[in-house]
A and B are shown apart, each in its own frame.
Chain A
């Protein structure tokens, strides 16, 4: 075990699965880092260097640079998955996913259902999401609720380097299409990551803090903010449980409902817009299944219903913060017995 970055954890997961299974290939824009051009091969390795080093080890038949045609290569990856490969496609920014919704929503997500369960689609689409990168409104969105909405897709949101490696290996070994969301400001976050392979099963939440006064459900990068808020709240005399669902589809509803039945208070933290979001989804779940356990109204902490601003000062207040989470928890925990 050693300290590794989120980026290294993801690269290690891909490399170890490529060594283990010759059917695993990667494809995407610039994933082989400058091949096809004059000069150094593998100079870069993806837009943020995640796949650097894979081209020299696995060569041009398994590390496929694609043109800037998302619709074409995501479609090719879906077809390759249906016909025997296990492709890991990189679609740089999730904001660009719109140009291949048919390939993902109507094709990859439907194969298992429309071919009577005879087809499997072991496809992984890695993509970057999230604000805080000064990348403006077309490169900063949190579109995981859209993919969570579609039956047939699985959606993973790793919240740390450890989670990234285990969830990605699970994604690659999974026989269904998985959309794997990497938060672009987390690539340099470090944490303990075992050198060995391991898988984290989908649909099993992690509990990162334990408390009795409130339940905080948070996704992706927001798990770290929720942990910070929970640590701060201890000084206020409020103890909060923090739940990281790890995957939004499948969703571990049991862990969430069990916790709310103990605490009676719920705050959901979601970096996406508030409407039709995971925040709305979890609030609906608890209002419907655990209303009698609630001792206070549910609160959500989300981005506003507006595009991500480019002005740095506005972007900073756009994203949910530990301070906003703390305020929300204090509000629901007010007057607790």
Chain B
């Protein structure tokens, strides 16, 4: 059997996923696919998303049928060069065995950890702790939580320790804030870095989390190995107030849905489970007040209060900026005109959440960025 045959299997999106439904194929037999190309739509009981090919190659067989529900790890398709005979593809499909997740994989799965400081709790996920390389800290945006990195954390944790924080006022962390300013949010992340015993870390910040990463570079540059800002706050002047205010005010499913749809280039990706997830956060005592305080400090009346353009251009550490071209929250034009030391990556088919909408592209860009920074 040829070694050139590559299986495409049902992905595992998050700890709870056991099976998924292949809603539709986006490629045909014989198509040449790139790594990261959208090849199928997959739906779980929690979410629906496009599945990006983990490898490049030629599609030789679409094994899974549209509408079929299959366990994680089940064979979806086979990629192989045209030179591989059909008989080899047949026997590959016939002999394919779904592998149960190994203990090592289970051991590398994200675990939840807590850290107490002055009566408040900071909750974060940790993954890939068996790795030696410089750790990565993922910082979500306004109203988000560590689950925003669902499509990134496992991939990044293959080669590095990864920590995904729930910022103060968000997710499972305490909702009480001193002021909600960037200094407070940045200090919480530094507390996490201290807690896990890391010297320097690669910071990845999305949206407001990008501004938190820049703030850490300003306050504690000795702890920062590199920064990747995904549609970060702090480079432009404006923010879509309809989103910020709509997200804070929304109490009903419909209003939450309208706010979330502003985040994505494909509004159909907003599922009932995502909406209920946001409502679950917003129902928690103190959550709404925390969002209000953070918005008033950092994103009042459609404005961004912090500017980090000068800091970013000082080239103290490698900085990469990623932006979805269809971002409806923060204008991608903010990445224009930065000094050449800053690597700017534009993602055409993504809105404000490129790490969700174009996950494998972003994952490989991030991995390359971390490796380059480590060599520098």
B69 is an interface residue with CB less than 8 A from chain A = yes
Q: Given the complex, which residues of B lie within 8 Å of A235, measured CB to CB?
A: 69
Q: Are B285 and A210 in contact (CB under 8 A)?
A: no
- Name the distance in Å between B66's Cβ and chain A's nearest Cβ: 9
Given A207-B276, A235-B69, A237-B67, A194–B253 Cβ distance below 8 Å? no
Q: Are B285 and A255 in contact (CB under 8 A)?
A: no
- Name the distance in Å between B114's Cβ and chain A's nearest Cβ: 11
B272 is an interface residue with CB less than 8 A from chain A = yes
A208 is an interface residue with CB less than 8 A from chain B = yes
A199 is an interface residue with CB less than 8 A from chain B = yes
Q: Are B67 and A166 in contact (CB under 8 A)?
A: no
Mark contacts of A191-211 with chain B using CB atoms, 8 A cut-off: 1 yes-contact digit, 0 otherwise. 000101111110010111110
The CA of A126 and the CA of B370, in the complex, are separated in Å by 56
Q: Given the complex, which residues of A lie within 8 Å of B272, measured CB to CB?
A: 207-210
B27 is an interface residue with CB less than 8 A from chain A = no
Q: Are A231 and B45 in contact (CB under 8 A)?
A: yes
| Nearest residue, chain A, Cβ from B23 | A239
B172 is an interface residue with CB less than 8 A from chain A = yes
Mark contacts of A162-177 with chain B using CB atoms, 8 A cut-off: 1 yes-contact digit, 0 otherwise. 1000100000000000
A336 is an interface residue with CB less than 8 A from chain B = no
| Nearest residue, chain A, Cβ from B121 | A195
B355 is an interface residue with CB less than 8 A from chain A = no
Name A201-260 residues within 8 Å CB distance of B. 201, 204, 206-210, 231, 234-235, 237, 255
Q: Given the complex, which residues of A lie within 8 Å of B175, measured CB to CB?
A: 196
Q: Are A255 and B253 in contact (CB under 8 A)?
A: yes
Q: Are A166 and B253 in contact (CB under 8 A)?
A: no
| Nearest residue, chain B, Cβ from A198 | B283
The CA of A172 and the CA of B284, in the complex, are separated in Å by 16
A311 is an interface residue with CB less than 8 A from chain B = no
B: number of interface residues (CB 8 Å): 18
A1 is an interface residue with CB less than 8 A from chain B = yes
Name A98-114 residues within 8 Å CB distance of B. none
Name B262-288 residues within 8 Å CB distance of A. 271-272, 275-276, 280, 283-286
B2 is an interface residue with CB less than 8 A from chain A = no
Q: Are B283 and A209 in contact (CB under 8 A)?
A: no
Q: Are B253 and A198 in contact (CB under 8 A)?
A: no
Q: Given the complex, which residues of A lie within 8 Å of B285, measured CB to CB?
A: 196-198
B117 is an interface residue with CB less than 8 A from chain A = no
Chain A interface residue bracket vs B: 20 to 34
Which among B69, B251, B283 is the interface contact of A166 at CB below 8 angstroms? B283
Q: Given the complex, which residues of A lie within 8 Å of B286, measured CB to CB?
A: 196
- Name the distance in Å between B17's Cβ and chain A's nearest Cβ: 13
Q: Given the complex, which residues of B lie within 8 Å of A210, measured CB to CB?
A: 271-272
The CA of A206 and the CA of B279, in the complex, are separated in Å by 10
Q: Are A207 and B172 in contact (CB under 8 A)?
A: no
B252 is an interface residue with CB less than 8 A from chain A = yes
Which among A194, A206, A208 is the interface contact of B172 at CB below 8 angstroms? A194
B330 is an interface residue with CB less than 8 A from chain A = no
B76 is an interface residue with CB less than 8 A from chain A = no
The CA of A210 and the CA of B271, in the complex, are separated in Å by 8
Q: Are A194 and B280 in contact (CB under 8 A)?
A: yes
Name B33-70 residues within 8 Å CB distance of A. 45, 67, 69
* Residue from B69, B251, B275 with most neighbouring chain A CB atoms (10 Å): B69
B153 is an interface residue with CB less than 8 A from chain A = no
Q: Are A194 and B45 in contact (CB under 8 A)?
A: no
- Name the distance in Å between B54's Cβ and chain A's nearest Cβ: 24
Q: Are B253 and A207 in contact (CB under 8 A)?
A: yes
The CA of A96 and the CA of B276, in the complex, are separated in Å by 36
- Name the distance in Å between A230's Cβ and chain B's nearest Cβ: 9
Mark contacts of A63-77 with chain B using CB atoms, 8 A cut-off: 1 yes-contact digit, 0 otherwise. 000000000000000
Given A196-B284, A198-B284, A198-B285, A209–B276 Cβ distance below 8 Å? no
- Name the distance in Å between B357's Cβ and chain A's nearest Cβ: 19
- Name the distance in Å between B121's Cβ and chain A's nearest Cβ: 9
The CA of A198 and the CA of B175, in the complex, are separated in Å by 12
Q: Given the complex, which residues of B lie within 8 Å of A196, measured CB to CB?
A: 175, 284-286
- Name the distance in Å between A153's Cβ and chain B's nearest Cβ: 23
Q: Which residues of A are in contact with B by a Cβ distance under 8 Å?
A: 1, 162, 166, 194, 196-201, 204, 206-210, 231, 234-235, 237, 255
Q: Give me 11 A-to-B residue pairs in the complex whose CB atoms sit less than 8 angstroms apart, sorted by A's number.
A: A162-B280, A194-B172, A196-B175, A196-B284, A196-B285, A198-B283, A200-B283, A231-B45, A234-B21, A234-B69, A237-B67
Known: A198-B283, A204-B253; 17 extra A-B contacts, CB below 8 A, are: A1-B172, A162-B280, A194-B280, A194-B284, A196-B175, A196-B284, A197-B284, A198-B285, A199-B283, A204-B252, A207-B272, A207-B275, A209-B272, A210-B271, A210-B272, A231-B45, A237-B67
Q: Which residues of B are in contact with A by a Cβ distance under 8 Å?
A: 21, 45, 67, 69, 172, 175, 251-253, 271-272, 275-276, 280, 283-286
Pairs A-B, 10 closest by C-beta atoms = A198-B283, A207-B272, A197-B285, A198-B284, A210-B272, A196-B284, A237-B67, A234-B69, A1-B172, A196-B285
